[in-house]
Amino acid sequence: MVTKHSVRAPNGHQMAERKSTRYPGVYTYESSLRRHNGRPDIAFCIDYRDSEGKRQRKTIGWASSGMTAAKAHQIRIQIISGKEQAPWQQESVQRDPTLDVAWERYYHDWMLAQNKNARSDLALIRGHLQIFTTLRLSEITPYRIDRLMADMHAQGLAAQSISLAVGLIRRVMRRMRIWGLYDGPDPFVSIKMPRPNNRRMRYLEPEEARMLLQELQRRSEQTWMMALISLHCGLRFGEIAALTYGDVNFADGTLYIRESKNGRARHAVMTDEVRMALHNLPLRPSTELL
């Protein structure tokens, strides 16, 4: 009897469907890219425990290459009995798969096995990286990667999107090296990866600031006070943390910052809200920290 198992990421997104066969420990996956006889190619995988008791899940062949569930079953039995090495142990180190073949191995034998969410990576492989999938890994040169980045930039894509696309190629190639399935040139030795600028600046609207301070005061009086001084007087955290009772001048309505970011002392003007909040503090020695 053939059953189906949905492999899901920790966040619940469905990643792929694994189908069990009539043979124990033999499963199949539909390829996300490869086609065979007009339909998605079928990968045959085996699941077993090695001599150290560690669970192993490996893709051992494709329907397009003549693999069947029965063959996979025989290979699994021979590996478990120790009469045969696993196919990935028999392969020569000097390998040069195409990116689509490398991706399928990475996808099924690493991402699914580690229960990782592959949705964004699948979108990249089927989208911006589609033109690379038929290239052998050795054909993915620094020039081609630079052209990919330039084309994506010309399309108006952000550095973060470009970095994710190029980073996926690098991750796949690195995993192939770790598994001993590729030993060709590494184009990323001479590639400068784009640096995303994730910094975003936005000013709070007056109503947003009011709501923020109101919520902070409900949770922590001290945090509210520090946020109030920061927002109304323009002080940094370190400057606020260093304030003493003697630095508050109610007569002039100022706060004395002994050492600012540039190393110089300065005065900051208190707003009425800050003056009222500090007036409510109990009296302490002038050298004691607020």
Task: Tell me the pLDDT band of 18, cut-offs 50, 70 and 90.
Answer: confident
Q: What is the pTM of this model?
A: 0.47
Instruction: Report whether pLDDT(87) > 90.
Output: no
- Mean pLDDT, residues 195-211: 79
Q: How much is the pLDDT for 9?
A: 34
- Mean pLDDT, residues 246-270: 88
In the β-sheet with 254-257, what is the strand arrangement from edge to edge? 248-249, 254-257, 266-269
Segment among 95-104, 219-228, 247-256, 264-273 with least mean pLDDT: 95-104
| Better pLDDT: 38 or 223 | 223
Contact status, residue 28 vs residue 45, Cβ threshold 8 Å = yes
Instruction: Please report, as a single letter, which amino acid is at residue 138.
Output: S
At the second CATH level, the architecture of 92-199 is Orthogonal Bundle (1.10)
Task: Tell me the pLDDT band of 2, cut-offs 50, 70 and 90.
Answer: very low
| Better pLDDT: 195 or 189 | 189
- Mean pLDDT, residues 255-270: 85
Task: Tell me the pLDDT band of 199, cut-offs 50, 70 and 90.
Answer: low
Torsion angles phi and psi, residue 263, rounded to 5: 90, 0
What is the rounded distance in angstroms from the CA atom of residue 101 to the CA atom of residue 3?
Answer: 26
For the chain, the first-to-last Cα distance in angstroms comes to 73
Residues in the chain, total: 290
Q: How much is the pLDDT for 211?
A: 93
Q: For 89-147, what is each residue's pLDDT tens digit?
A: 444 434 788 898 899 889 888 888 788 888 889 889 988 998 898 899 999 999 999 99
Residues 6+ apart with CB under 8 A from 207: none
Q: How much is the pLDDT for 88?
A: 47
Q: At what angle do helices 142-154 and 159-178 cross, to 10 degrees?
A: 150
- Mean pLDDT, residues 151-161: 89
Q: How far is CA 132 from CA 24, 135, 168, 192, 251, in A?
A: 36, 5, 12, 19, 71
Instruction: Tell me the pLDDT of the chain averaged across its residues.
Output: 83
Q: Give the CATH number of domain 206-279; options: 3.40.50.300, 1.10.443.10, 3.40.50.11780, 3.40.50.720.
A: 1.10.443.10
- Mean pLDDT, residues 70-94: 67
Delimit the domains of the chain by residue range: 1-90, 92-199, 206-279
- Mean pLDDT, residues 50-77: 82
Lookup: tokens for 52: 């150290």
What is the rounded distance in angstroms from the CA atom of residue 49 to the CA atom of residue 71?
Answer: 19
Instruction: Report whether pLDDT(244) > 90.
Output: yes
- Mean pLDDT, residues 187-205: 78
Instruction: Report whether pLDDT(39) > 70.
Output: yes
Segment among 49-58, 141-150, 161-170 with least mean pLDDT: 49-58
Instruction: Report whether pLDDT(62) > 80.
Output: yes
Instruction: Report whether pLDDT(230) > 80.
Output: yes
Q: Is 215 helix (H, G, I), strand (E, B) or coil?
A: helix
- Mean pLDDT, residues 219-247: 92
Residue 229 burial (CB count, 10 A):
23
Q: How much is the pLDDT for 253?
A: 92
Instruction: Report whether pLDDT(255) > 90.
Output: yes
